A and B are shown apart, each in its own frame.
Chain A
Amino acid sequence: MLQTIANAFSVPEIRRKLAFTAAILLLYRLGAYIPAPGVNIDAVESIEENFTGSNILGFLNLFSGGSLQRLSLFALGIMPYITASIILQLLTVVVPSLERLQKEGEVGQQKITQYTRYLTVGLSFAQALGYVFLFQSFQDQAGQSVVGDLTFGKVFLIVISLTAGTTLLMWMGELITQRGIGNGISLMIFASIASSIPGGISAWWNNQDQVFVVMMPFIALAVIVGIVFVQEGQRRIPVQYAKRVVGRRMTTGGSTYLPLRVNMAGVIPVIFAASIMAFPPTIGQLLGGADENFWTDFANFFNPNGWAYVVGEVFFIIIFTYFYTAVTFNPVDQADNLKKYGGFIPGVRPGRPTAEYLDRILSRLTFPGALYLGAVAALPTILISQTSANFYFGGTSILIVVGVALDTVKQLEAQLMMRNYEGFLK
């Protein structure tokens, strides 16, 4: 991997692409520190506690790289775009005219992308409006609101700025995908999460618990190695195609296979589970207010460091892993597809036997996969409670960071391969 990165710098075209990607990401981080017009910067400093922990705001703040709590230009982050694309993908299933558009191929797809962009702007507008009123309720010790007194002009100004910010991000993300390396949207989320690493390191260094300070690097390393290991793990089911009748020996030697990953579902179940588990504390806080009552107890019970939260999270992760795997990989469809294109698994008959075979392997893989995801998500919480360290070490974050990093390096590697003929042509 390090070799790949070193090689990358020796190819001018790839060096340019990397520099381009880095420049865009830098702009993205820079924008995270530019406050939106009309925001009381002094007051922003004092509202931080609203964004820690695992409630919805903390979650969104993490994905926007701290932009949200600062109410900066990029406060909405790239999330509206992700939401818009999910909505449109789902709509293509329900709305016949969209489904037809999709069928028309490239041109139709371009139209759908265009709709996604419009929807992103709309969603951003609505979300920005919500934030303005939410932030008005956040006040510093002096009773100053973060956005001060609201006038129509001011609301309009902030909303327009935030919407423009997200629109700009959307464009920047597409630029990375087109002209840089990797997927722009993933890399932006990656950058947001990675931006909290320096803070985490300083928190670790200043920790009072000596055992924790010494052990932490080893634990982190072990967790990352474990994630990479399982993330890359796959079962390769050999496939043969019987479409050619030529007196030619099989040359590929097993390069045609159906790869089933241990973690078929990726990071999505973790994100879904975290979003769901963020609701109870948020509701508790909202309904509870300042006094102690049932709702504050409720919020505390589901606090991210408690056992109830961990159990709930793992439970939902397992549910979602099964659900997502079942939706994305349908053994019957796969068996049909293989048959349609003349492929088969040696020794297994086509149609139902193949589907059953695939199903059996899949269920053997999904259970450990789900447990693994649950463990990665829960481990930090358990560690924190064991070491009584006040340190946020999100499993979700590590999964995303490692996943995006792996994908990007792989893409880099493939691009490098294409350009490695210079040495050959000596």
Chain B
Amino acid sequence: MSLAQRLKNRARRFLERPGTVVSLRRYEELLPRIEALEPELQELTDEELTQRAGEAEGLVEICAVGREAARRALGERPYDVQLLGALAMLDGHVAEMATGEGKTLTATIAAYGHVRLGHGPVHVITVNDYLARRDADWMRPVYTMLGLTVGSVTEINTREERVEAYACDVTYVSINEAGFDFLRDQLVTDIADRVQRPLGTAIVDEADSILIDEAKVPMVLAGAITTELDPVHAADAVVRGLVAHRDYEISEDGRTISLTNRGLKTVEAKLGGINLYDEKHLADLAAVNVALYAHYLLQRDVDYIVRNGTVELVDEMRGRVAQRRRWPDGLHAAVEAKEGLSPSAEGEVLGTITVQAYIGLYKTLCGMTATAVHVGDQLREYYKLEVAVIPPNTPCIRVDEPTRIYATRAERDEAMVALIKECHEKGRPVLVGTLDVKASEELAAQLAEAGVPCTVLNAKNDAEEAAIIAEAGTYGAVTVSTQMAGRGVDIRLGGSDQRDWERVAELGGLLVIGAGMHESRRVDDQLRGRAGRQGDPGGSVFFVSLEDELIVRHAGNEIPPSPNMTPDGLVEDERVDWAVAHAQRVAEGINYEIHRNTWRYSLVIEQQRKALAERRERVLTTNVTAEMLAEYFPEKCEQMDPELLTRVSRAIALYHIDRLWAEHLAMLSEVREGVHLRSLARVDPLDEFHRTAVPAFNALIPEIERRTVETFESISVDEDWQPEQAKLIRPSATWTYLVHDAPFGSEMDRLFSAATRGFRKRR
């Protein structure tokens, strides 16, 4: 290491830059002692080892036993660096380990350690169901050897299976399933219906993805409600055939859409000459807005796919279908209308929690990922996590070529297909990462035309995921995938059995091609990380066109009018290189801002949720409501069997608590929508939000009590009384959805944006 590099590292450590705070020296000192225990452990029988595992104390013994169990169960002895990662995770840090370094096994030792240290139950939180099931099955022999039970929870599991899985010492579960199980547990009317136990430790796999990228989207549990009106289908016909720019305008950032005056007149005429902006036509106006959004901002095969007669959302972060997820506020129905499908039931928010607040409920937290340092500041700010950078076991020799930029998409695709064809003819396996389903299908068609057979992996065939990925490194294979292949999957050179390893390695290993940049550099890096695992040869290159949405949206004005180009359209211009990187930085900045906004506004909601949850818990587990009602109606209560009284009073009180909470959430989301306007009066919108939210919540408890008393008064109770008799009907089905926020500038922003415009005009 050069002197300059050393000084720079020293300075970074002094400034507490992410990735420099955790010193590995302490863990490295333990390694010889762990190794010293090995001969002794190797002489034990399997049964003796399992017994020893149940008695192991201290980090040294835990790691030594873990290593031995892995060696016996999987036939691979964990490397020193894997133990370093496990030690960092046992210390409550995020371990940054390169792809292919064996994070799954590392997490297993950490999970075992946390159980031994009394931090259980341990949840290993994954990005998706596929990984949760795969990792649990894969690591089961190790856990068995260690005397621990392991389970996994996925979307398809029934309630009983979930209870069983959560009862295990270690549970593998995707963040969404864990969060939604938690939300559903918050709404049970019988304590025996809960599936989760009190939360202990979370080991977060792909920590940057879950803790940062997903955290900007609150998890929402919705229940079906019946609506008599269906203005959405009527509006759908009205907005069909409108023309961009003439009838409607889409904002530069592509997030909002509105009618022009001409479009408005057309729509009003079609609706029978009404004034949409009259207060009595509010519902029609809303329906038109929602229909516009569905028609012109949401794209089929990008934002959603249509399968089996239903609209299925594509998770933008993971490129796969998000099960049981819907758009809020009638948008889902509008999309169904657009696709000519029959509408499904509307929903109402029953409970909400952000990923961040959910993760905060765990007593112990640690994680691992290949790309943590980029988000180190945020991990520290939001989760008090530090990043420990674990060196790779074998250095990465992947060749990352500079990004190739083309002026138009056509030229870009042509060059990309040519490169893929060239590799394919030589036999070098290629993995192409596309941004969405549509792009993956278009590229597959182009490849077919060029005579290159390829396998497509996207949200539509996610069931075959494991098989496709396993063979992506085969000699001559071409795999086109959406972001699904971006994380957690391990591509072995020469096929799943590595039969052609040497032949493929000689050709340069797997080549990863990125067809367009993602909104964050980390996601790009993850895609690159599919190549070059464990010191394998490999390469990566990104193909970008100046017509890509990311660039047009965020750096449209920064592209010089006539950049230097080669005849085949390859742009070689420093200013363009800069603009392309700038576009990605702008996108990252926007996402950061959204995350921060979500977090700031969810703080008070989370506080209120906790307060009400405690109250609800008391109603659920004690007799408080019965006692309260006995004070109001001594006679009526005395006539009743005490057990019946408890059951009835509990059912009534719980119904009203959940009902009022849902109403409260609806109210808050309406306030949230317009609260940015308050910044005009030079007040902080967040303070104003609190000013509305807090008194409203304080009024909730007396209201719950009042309604409970009222309901109890109005009913007559007999032995087989059911809540439905008192019209206490709970939503039948639940589903989940994601919410987006629209950030709004401060007074200063407006001041200077106005000044800028003036300046531009003069210029």
A residues bordering B, Cβ < 8 Å?
89-90, 92-94, 99-100, 103-108, 234, 239-248, 250-252, 255-261, 266, 327-330, 333, 337, 339-344, 346-351, 410-411, 413-414, 417-418, 420-421, 424-425
Q: Choose the segment among B81-89, B132-140, B328-336, B429-437 that binds chain A (4+ C-beta atoms closer than 8 Å).
A: B328-336
Q: Tell me the complex Cα distance, A425–B750, Å.
A: 42
Q: Size of chain B's interface in residues, with CB distance under 8 A?
A: 83
What residues of chain A lie closer than 8 Å to B603, measured between beta carbons? 418
Q: Are B585 and A104 in touch, CB under 8 angstroms?
A: yes
What residues of chain A lie closer than 8 Å to B754, measured between beta carbons? 327-328, 330, 333
**Known contacts A242-B286, A327-B755, A347-B279, then 10 further A-B pairs from the complex at CB < 8 Å, ordered by chain A residue:** A89-B748, A104-B582, A104-B585, A105-B585, A328-B750, A343-B674, A344-B277, A417-B694, A418-B690, A425-B611
Q: Are A424 and B611 in touch, CB under 8 angstroms?
A: yes
Q: Choose the segment among B9-17, B239-247, B523-531, B681-689 that binds chain A (4+ C-beta atoms closer than 8 Å).
A: B681-689
Q: Are B278 and A347 in touch, CB under 8 angstroms?
A: yes
**Which of B225, B674, B753 lies in contact with A247, CB distance below 8 A?**
B225
Q: Tell me the complex Cα distance, A90–B279, Å.
A: 42
What residues of chain A lie closer than 8 Å to B334, measured between beta carbons? 245
Known contacts: A100-B558, A243-B290, A347-B278. The answer to whether A418 contacts B607 by CB under 8 A is yes
**Which of A107, A252, A347, A421 lies in contact with B671, CB distance below 8 A?**
A252
**Which of B275, B596, B673, B742 lies in contact with A349, CB distance below 8 A?**
B275
Q: Tell me the complex Cα distance, A173–B608, Å.
A: 32
Q: Are B691 and A414 in touch, CB under 8 angstroms?
A: yes
Q: Are A106 and B589 in touch, CB under 8 angstroms?
A: yes
Q: Choose the segment among B110-118, B226-234, B503-511 that binds chain A (4+ C-beta atoms closer than 8 Å).
A: B226-234
Q: Tell me the complex Cα distance, A403–B290, Å.
A: 42
Q: Tell me the complex Cα distance, A339–B285, Å.
A: 12
What residues of chain A lie closer than 8 Å to B670, measured between beta carbons? 241, 250-252, 255-256
Q: Are A248 and B666 in touch, CB under 8 angstroms?
A: yes
B412 to chain A, nearest CB (A): 24
Residues of B187-243 at the interface with A, using a CB-CB cut-off of 8 Å, are 225-229, 231-232
Q: Are B282 and A242 in touch, CB under 8 angstroms?
A: yes
Q: Tell me the complex Cα distance, A258–B680, Å.
A: 7
Q: B747 near A: Cβ within 8 Å?
A: yes
Q: Tell me the complex Cα distance, A359–B282, Å.
A: 24
Find the B residue at minimum CB distance from A245.
B330
B11 to chain A, nearest CB (A): 16
Find the B residue at minimum CB distance from A243.
B289
A115 to chain B, nearest CB (A): 15
Q: Are A93 and B558 in touch, CB under 8 angstroms?
A: no
Q: Tell me the complex Cα distance, A92–B755, Å.
A: 10
Task: Please list 16 pairs of residues, one from A and one from B, whose beta carbons are closer than 8 Å in the complex, sorted by A's number.
Answer: A92-B752, A242-B282, A242-B289, A245-B290, A251-B667, A251-B670, A259-B677, A261-B680, A329-B750, A330-B750, A344-B277, A410-B687, A414-B687, A414-B690, A414-B691, A424-B701
B residues bordering A, Cβ < 8 Å?
225-229, 231-232, 251, 256, 258, 261, 264, 275, 277-279, 282-283, 285-287, 289-290, 328-330, 333-334, 346, 348, 554, 558, 582, 585-586, 588-590, 592-593, 596, 603-604, 607-608, 611, 614-615, 663, 666-667, 670-671, 673-675, 677-678, 680-684, 686-687, 690-692, 694, 698, 701, 742, 744, 747-748, 750-756, 759
Q: Are B673 and A256 in touch, CB under 8 angstroms?
A: yes
B585 to chain A, nearest CB (A): 5
Q: Are B329 and A328 in touch, CB under 8 angstroms?
A: no
Known contacts: A104-B585, A328-B747, A425-B611. The answer to whether A255 contacts B677 by CB under 8 A is no
**Which of A90, A243, A411 lies in contact with B286, CB distance below 8 A?**
A243
Q: Tell me the complex Cα distance, A163–B554, Å.
A: 40
Q: Are B586 and A104 in touch, CB under 8 angstroms?
A: yes
Most buried by B among A234, A246, A421: A246
What residues of chain B lie closer than 8 Å to A420, measured between beta carbons? 694, 698
Q: Are B232 and A105 in touch, CB under 8 angstroms?
A: no
Q: Are A257 and B333 in touch, CB under 8 angstroms?
A: no
What residues of chain B lie closer than 8 Å to A349, measured between beta carbons? 275, 277
Known contacts: A234-B681, A417-B694. The answer to whether A247 contacts B228 by CB under 8 A is yes
Q: Tell me the complex Cα distance, A411–B684, Å.
A: 9
Q: Are A411 and B687 in touch, CB under 8 angstroms?
A: yes
Q: Tell me the complex Cα distance, A351–B603, Å.
A: 35
Most buried by A among B228, B277, B283, B750: B277
Q: Tell me the complex Cα distance, A94–B611, Å.
A: 50
A189 to chain B, nearest CB (A): 16
Q: Are A246 and B330 in touch, CB under 8 angstroms?
A: yes
**Which of A106, A258, A328, A411 lies in contact with B593, CB distance below 8 A?**
A106
Q: Tell me the complex Cα distance, A327–B666, Å.
A: 36
A110 to chain B, nearest CB (A): 10
Find the B residue at minimum CB distance from A420.
B694
B352 to chain A, nearest CB (A): 15
Most buried by A among B232, B687, B744: B687
Q: Tell me the complex Cα distance, A16–B603, Å.
A: 21
What residues of chain A lie closer than 8 Å to B673, measured between beta carbons? 241, 243, 256, 341
**Which of B251, B582, B681, B752 lies in contact with A259, CB distance below 8 A?**
B681
What residues of chain A lie closer than 8 Å to B330, measured between beta carbons? 244-246
Q: Are A351 and B589 in touch, CB under 8 angstroms?
A: no
Q: Are A247 and B755 in touch, CB under 8 angstroms?
A: no
Known contacts: A241-B670, A243-B289, A410-B687. The answer to whether A350 contacts B759 by CB under 8 A is no
Find the A residue at minimum CB distance from B679.
A259
What residues of chain A lie closer than 8 Å to B681, measured between beta carbons? 234, 259-261
**Which of B289, B607, B674, B683 lies in contact with A257, CB distance below 8 A?**
B674
What residues of chain B lie closer than 8 Å to A246, measured between beta carbons? 225, 227, 329-330, 346, 348
Q: Are B756 and A93 in touch, CB under 8 angstroms?
A: yes
A418 to chain B, nearest CB (A): 6
What residues of chain A lie closer than 8 Å to B742, measured between beta carbons? 341
Known contacts: A100-B558, A245-B290, A339-B258. The answer to whether A260 contacts B666 by CB under 8 A is no
Q: Tell me the complex Cα distance, A349–B276, Å.
A: 8
Q: Tell me the complex Cα distance, A84–B258, Å.
A: 39
Most buried by B among A94, A245, A342, A349: A245
Find the B residue at minimum CB distance from A329.
B680
Q: Are B677 and A257 in touch, CB under 8 angstroms?
A: yes
Q: Are A105 and B607 in touch, CB under 8 angstroms?
A: no
Q: Tell me the complex Cα distance, A420–B258, Å.
A: 41
Most buried by A among B333, B334, B589, B615: B589
Q: Are A108 and B228 in touch, CB under 8 angstroms?
A: no
What residues of chain B lie closer than 8 Å to A425, measured between beta carbons? 611, 614-615
Q: Tell me the complex Cα distance, A351–B260, Å.
A: 9
Find the B residue at minimum CB distance from A94.
B759
What residues of chain B lie closer than 8 Å to A252, measured between beta carbons? 667, 670-671
Q: Closest 9 interchain pairs by CB?
A: A105-B589, A245-B330, A256-B674, A247-B227, A244-B329, A414-B687, A259-B681, A242-B286, A242-B285
**Which of B589, B691, B751, B756 lies in contact with A107, CB distance below 8 A?**
B589
A388 to chain B, nearest CB (A): 38
Q: Are B229 and A247 in touch, CB under 8 angstroms?
A: yes
What residues of chain A lie closer than 8 Å to B615, measured between beta carbons? 425
Q: Are B592 and A261 in touch, CB under 8 angstroms?
A: no
B347 to chain A, nearest CB (A): 8
Find the B residue at minimum CB distance from A348.
B277
Q: Are B694 and A418 in touch, CB under 8 angstroms?
A: yes
Q: Tell me the complex Cα distance, A57–B232, Å.
A: 67
Q: Tell me the complex Cα distance, A417–B286, Å.
A: 34
What residues of chain B lie closer than 8 Å to A261, measured between beta carbons? 680-682
Q: Are A245 and B674 in touch, CB under 8 angstroms?
A: no
What residues of chain A lie closer than 8 Å to B663, measured between beta carbons? 251
Q: Are A104 and B690 in touch, CB under 8 angstroms?
A: no
Q: Tell me the complex Cα distance, A337–B691, Å.
A: 24
Known contacts: A251-B670, A259-B677, A340-B251. The answer to whether A93 contacts B687 by CB under 8 A is no
What residues of chain A lie closer than 8 Å to B691, measured between beta carbons? 413-414, 417
What residues of chain A lie closer than 8 Å to B614, measured between beta carbons? 425
What residues of chain A lie closer than 8 Å to B692, measured between beta carbons? 255
Q: Tell me the complex Cα distance, A341–B256, Å.
A: 7
Q: Are A340 and B256 in touch, CB under 8 angstroms?
A: yes
